[in-house]
Amino acid sequence: MADFEKISELMQKGKADEVKQLCAEALEEGVAPKDVLDMALLAAMNIVGVKFKNNEVFVPEVLIAARAMNFGLEILKPAMVDDDIEEIGKVVIGTVKGDLHDIGKNLVKIMFEGKGLTVIDLGADVSAEKYVEAASNENANVIACSALLTTTMTQMEAIVKAAEDAGIRDKVTIMVGGAPVTQKFCDSIGADIYAADAATASEKALEVCTK
Amino acid sequence: MTGKEKVLAVLNKEKIASIPWLPFAGVHSGRLKGYTAREVSTDAAKLIESLREVNKLYKPDGQPIMFDLQIEAEILGCELLWSEDAPPTVSTHPLSDTADIPEHIPAVNEGRIPLAIEAMKAMKGEIGDTTALYGLITGPFTLASHLRGTNIFMDMIMNPSYVTELLGYCTKVAKAVSTFYIEAGMDVIAVVDPLVSQISPDHFGEFMDKPFAEVFDLIRAAGAKSSFFVCGNASANIAPMCKTRPDSISVDENVNLATAKKITDEYNVVIGGNIPLTSVMLFGTQQDNMKNTVDLIDSVDNTDLLIIAPGCDMPYATPVENTIGVQQAVHQTEQIREMVKNYEGTEIEFEGELPDYNNLEKPFIEVFTLDSITCAACTYMKASAVDIKEHFGDKIDMIEYKYTDPQNIARCKVMEVKQLPSIYINGELKYSSIIPNRSEFIAVVEKCL
Ligand code: B12
């Protein structure tokens, strides 16, 4: 019987090759790929997210766990039947224009993926137009923007405005975050959701996409 | 004691009666003179003029020359994205796709090092006797991340020997630049490494111990003092940082200063910090800044081995009066504590009567100060009003209200005076914090005659 606990532990330690191998073994034993995904990989990512939030693990540990998750996914994805890969939701993410802080954004992306969401990463220094263009082309449920500077967080208002101008505002949920961003700021610019950390952000995004 | 003596005494671990004040006015300095961030990052004359103004208005005990973590990276091939209201940012990472270790060590005449050195030498001559001067270099880890990009985090786990080697190279760069700045007269070299807040204490021990200790040893051997600046939540790394033997460390508002100080005290290391940059310095009122500073000072077990500073580089647009408020609160803590109390106390009613501003006989200049004796900006503001009064003689009236008197606080409340020092003419705010230029001031008063 596949040991989800063990896969989870190895993944949290970033042991990519072992995770890959155990995922393959699980499939050989006839375990449903979706179960391995949910109960081992995504569960592990959830734990990592909480530990990061509590200052028990740091950026390198999260990144390395994410890499191990992707190794596992490589095995699981091809084995999944169509039913399994029904898309939960799509998120367009990026750091706003003029801002190159991308560590937080990358962690949020990882946690989104850890919830099984499809993420389109636009990188850093992303203009309002680019977010909106990508969101319309991809038919995304969520635009997630990150800003770490007080001088760039004002860009988020431009993104809300650009979404209105493009006529997609009612179709897309706009999430904002990054160290200087607050719930109050989120409300003041007419964005939809604020979260203080990546784990909470992913929970809220999942809620939006499954509603 | 001069400010410089205070800073050096504290860094020498002596117990002194007052707390040194170290405003991190990087590109914010330009704002005092109407220059953009880009201008003070690229033009020595404008930078020097701005630094002079910082010294005049903020009465620093210690003062940085440039707060720019991109100087070394630019020389080593990173492209920069420039901004008018923030320091430039590294936008490309030359080592992102290669495991090569560079060899080039910046020379004293490369990139913007000559600009930094020119400003250092000029400031050394002008204010170096009374103000401790800080030369800021990019710490080895942050420099490595500029060169490699954020892949460096994964490398720490997947390719540790590469990281050690790259950090070794960055340490050589840090040592070279420290030497240039010490030779240019800097009293303190601050090794600025915000990225240190993002790794575990184990990783700190594995990778950072040796590079940082080496840089601090070099600074010590050269006869200068050192500081380890970090931004972000570095709470877990305070002890490891102390073990690299800097004279001081400086933290931002993500770290609880009182808790961290218990640790730095054990290691006999000075701690500096940590007025919140955004919520308080940028967006707060002057009152918030004074209160916050007093509360911060009250929060620590003892005020030995302590420096009060903003959490990190001050935002370009930080209101001048907020920094002045912090300065006053550090230098005149008891007086400001009283003021804050009086301001917060709603019981004080304004007992006087406001002038009938619409029916004045002559133009009426009112100067509101924190205290024109102890607050430098207030002294200049008051002096400019006295000068104008002398110029116009009996044709105008002039008065100073000091915030030290509870009735004056009440008057400020009634008149909705928010920033000190400021000058009102005929009941209207004309100048705040930045000292008016004489001819302009005269012209304004003439219009009212
Ligand atoms: C690391 C760092 C850097 C690195 C960035 C490397 C990189 N590739 O990202 C370097 C050294 C390059 C850098 C440069 C600069 N930095 Co910097 N930097 C930091 C630091 C120390 C940590 C940021 C970080 O990565 N944290 C870790 C991550 C995981 O946390 P996070 O980003 O907050 O993300 C979490 C949450 O906010 C949330 N989240 C994030 N995004 C999103 C998005 C959504 C949608 C949601 C829901 C949630 C969410 O989830 C994340 C995980 O839990 C902060 C200090 C601080 N107090 O934050 C300063 C800080 C952000 N930097 C600052 C400054 C000023 C600068 C510079 C201008 C420095 C200079 N003087 O030269 C440049 C400008 C860069 C630019 N134009 O972008 C200031 C900003 C001040 C302000 N409020 O405006 C800070 C606050 C430091 C300080 N105290 O002064 N910096």
Q: Do the chains contact at B236 and A14, CB–CB below 8 Å?
A: no
Domains in chain A: how many in total?
Answer: 2
Q: Which of B313, B339, B365 is the last residue of a domain?
A: B339
Token representation of residue B202:
């184990």
Taking CA atoms, A53 is separated from A59, A185, A201, in Å, by 11, 22, 11
Q: Which of B296, B313, B339 is the last residue of a domain?
A: B339
Q: Are residues A75 and A113 in the same domain?
A: no
Q: Which conformational region is residue B370 in: left (phi greater than 0), alpha (psi within -120 to 50 degrees), or beta?
A: alpha
Answer whether residue B143 shows pLDDT above 70. yes
DSSP state of A196: S
Q: Which of B211, B107, B135 is nearest to B167 (CA)?
A: B211
pTM for the model stands at 0.88
Q: Is the CB of A93 under 6 A from ligand 1?
A: no
Q: Is the CB of B195 under 6 A from ligand 1?
A: yes
Q: Are residues A105 and A203 in the same domain?
A: yes
Ligand 1 atom at shortest distance from the alpha carbon of B27: 71
Domain ranges, residue B368: 357-448
Most confident of the ranges B31-40, B385-394, B426-435: B31-40
Q: Which of A83, A104, A127 is the last residue of a domain?
A: A83
In this structure, which residue's CA is closest to atom 55 in ligand 1?
B232
Averaged pLDDT, B130-136: 98
Please check whether residue B135 is in contact with residue B61, taking contact to mean a CB–CB distance below 8 angstroms.
no
Averaged pLDDT, B216-244: 96
Q: Are residues A116 and A30 in the same domain?
A: no
DSSP state of B132: E
**What is d(CA A49, CA A56) in angstroms, rounded to the nearest whole number?**
10
Q: Is the CB of B254 under 6 A from ligand 1?
A: yes
Q: Are residues B65 and B146 in the same domain?
A: yes
Amino acid identity for residue B207 in this structure:
F
Domain of residue B86, CATH code: 3.20.20.210
Q: Assign B389 a pLDDT band (cuts: 50, 70, 90).
A: very high
Strand partners, B137: B191
Q: In this predicted structure, what is the pLDDT of residue A22?
A: 94
Q: Which of A55, A83, A111 is the last residue of a domain?
A: A83
Strand partners, B8: none
Q: In this predicted structure, what is the pLDDT of residue B343?
A: 77
Token representation of residue B443:
């012209």
**What is d(CA B382, CA B139) in angstroms, rounded to the nearest whole number?**
42
Token representation of residue B53:
């103004």
Best mutation site among A13, A15, A57, A58 for testing chain B: the one with the most B CBs within 10 Å? Answer: A58
In this structure, which residue's CA is closest to atom 7 in ligand 1?
A101
Report which secondary-structure segment, H or E, holds B109: none
Report which secondary-structure segment, H or E, holds A209: helix A198-210
Amino acid identity for residue B284 in this structure:
G
Q: Which residues between 46 and 85 in chain B have a beta carbon less than 8 angstroms from any beta carbon of chain A? A: 81, 83, 85
Q: Assign B29 a pLDDT band (cuts: 50, 70, 90).
A: very high
Domains in chain B: how many in total?
Answer: 2
Question: Which range (A181-185, B25-29, B128-132) has the least confidence?
Answer: A181-185
Q: Are residues A41 and A112 in the same domain?
A: no
Q: In this predicted structure, what is the pLDDT of residue B137?
A: 98
Domain of residue A56, CATH code: 1.10.1240.10
Q: Are residues B325 and B374 in the same domain?
A: no
From first to last of its 211 residues, chain A has per-residue pLDDT tens of 568 999 999 999 999 999 999 999 999 998 988 889 889 998 999 899 899 989 899 999 999 999 999 899 888 888 876 656 667 899 999 999 988 898 889 889 988 988 889 999 999 999 999 999 999 999 999 999 999 988 889 899 999 999 999 999 999 999 999 988 999 999 999 999 999 988 899 999 999 888 7
**Residue whose structure tokens are 């619409």:** B358
Does residue B302 form part of some domain?
A: yes
Q: Are residues B221 and B280 in the same domain?
A: yes
Ligand 1 atom at shortest distance from the alpha carbon of A195: 47
Q: Which of A48, A83, A118 is the last residue of a domain?
A: A83
Q: Are residues A32 and A96 in the same domain?
A: no
Sheet holding B132-138, edge to edge: B62-64, B132-138, B188-192, B225-229, B248-250, B270-275, B306-310
ipTM, 2 dp: 0.83
For all residues of chain B together, what is the average pLDDT?
Answer: 94
Q: Are residues B30 and B164 in the same domain?
A: yes
Q: Are residues A52 and A96 in the same domain?
A: no
Can you say whether the dihedral through the CA atoms of A66, A71, A73, A74 is positive or negative?
positive
- Backbone φ and ψ for B429, nearest 5 degrees, come out as -65, 125
Averaged pLDDT, B61-80: 97
Please check whether residue A16 is in contact with residue A68, taking contact to mean a CB–CB distance below 8 angstroms.
yes
Q: Are residues A99 and A68 in the same domain?
A: no
Q: Are residues A192 and A125 in the same domain?
A: yes
Does residue B345 form part of some domain?
A: no
Q: Are residues A115 and A54 in the same domain?
A: no
Q: Which of B339, B368, B401 is the last residue of a domain?
A: B339
**What is d(CA A25, CA B444) in angstroms, rounded to the nearest whole number?**
84
Reduced to 3 states, what is the DSSP secondary structure of residue B190?
A: strand
b/e per residue, B196-206, with b = 16+ CB within 10 A?
bbbbbeebbee
Can you say whether the dihedral through the CA atoms of B171, B172, B176, B179 is positive or negative?
positive
**What is d(CA A23, CA A31) in angstroms, rounded to the nearest whole number?**
9
Q: Are residues A39 and A99 in the same domain?
A: no
Q: Are residues B391 and B292 in the same domain?
A: no
Please check whether residue A44 is in contact with residue A11, taking contact to mean a CB–CB distance below 8 angstroms.
yes
Question: DSSP letters along B249-306, please?
Answer: EE--TTS-HHHHHHHHHHTT-EEEEEE-IIIIIITS-HHHHHHHHHHHHHHSS--TTE
Q: Are residues A21 and A125 in the same domain?
A: no
Please check whether residue B52 is in contact with residue B23, taking contact to mean a CB–CB distance below 8 angstroms.
no
Domain of residue A124, CATH code: 3.40.50.280
| Number of continuous H segments (helices) and E segments (strands) in chain A | 10, 5
| Number of continuous H segments (helices) and E segments (strands) in chain B | 19, 13
Can you say whether the dihedral through the CA atoms of B252, B177, B93, B141 is positive or negative?
negative
Q: Are residues B293 and B373 in the same domain?
A: no
Q: Are residues A77 and A99 in the same domain?
A: no
**Residue whose structure tokens are 């320091």:** B87
A118 Cα: distance to centroid of ligand 1 (angstroms)? 25
Domain ranges, residue A192: 90-209
- Backbone φ and ψ for B237, nearest 5 degrees, come out as -110, 10
Averaged pLDDT, B274-283: 90
Q: In this predicted structure, what is the pLDDT of residue B256?
A: 96
Report which secondary-structure segment, H or E, holds A99: none
Render pLDDT for B395-425 as a digit per residue (tens, 0 to 9): 999 999 988 888 888 888 888 888 889 999 9
Does residue B244 form part of some domain?
A: yes
**What is d(CA A21, CA A23) in angstroms, rounded to the nearest whole number?**
5
State the distance between the two ends of chain A, measured CA to CA, in whole angstroms: 34
Q: Assign B346 a pLDDT band (cuts: 50, 70, 90).
A: low
**What is d(CA A153, CA B226) in angstroms, rounded to the nearest whole number?**
34
Q: In this predicted structure, what is the pLDDT of residue B353?
A: 87
Q: Is the CB of B280 under 6 A from ligand 1?
A: no
Averaged pLDDT, B239-254: 96
Q: Which of B416, B412, B394, B414 is nearest to B404 (CA)?
A: B412
Kindly give, in sequence order, each residue whose CB lies less than 8 Å from that of residue B151, ignoring residues fewer than 6 positions away. Answer: B96
Kindly give, in sequence order, each residue whose CB lies less than 8 Å from that of residue B191, ignoring residues fewer than 6 positions away. Answer: B137, B139, B140, B174, B178, B212, B215, B216, B226, B227, B228, B229, B246
Best mutation site among B91, B154, B230, B316 for testing chain A: the one with the most A CBs within 10 Å? Answer: B154
Q: Is the CB of A66 under 6 A from ligand 1?
A: no
Q: Are residues B89 and B178 in the same domain?
A: yes
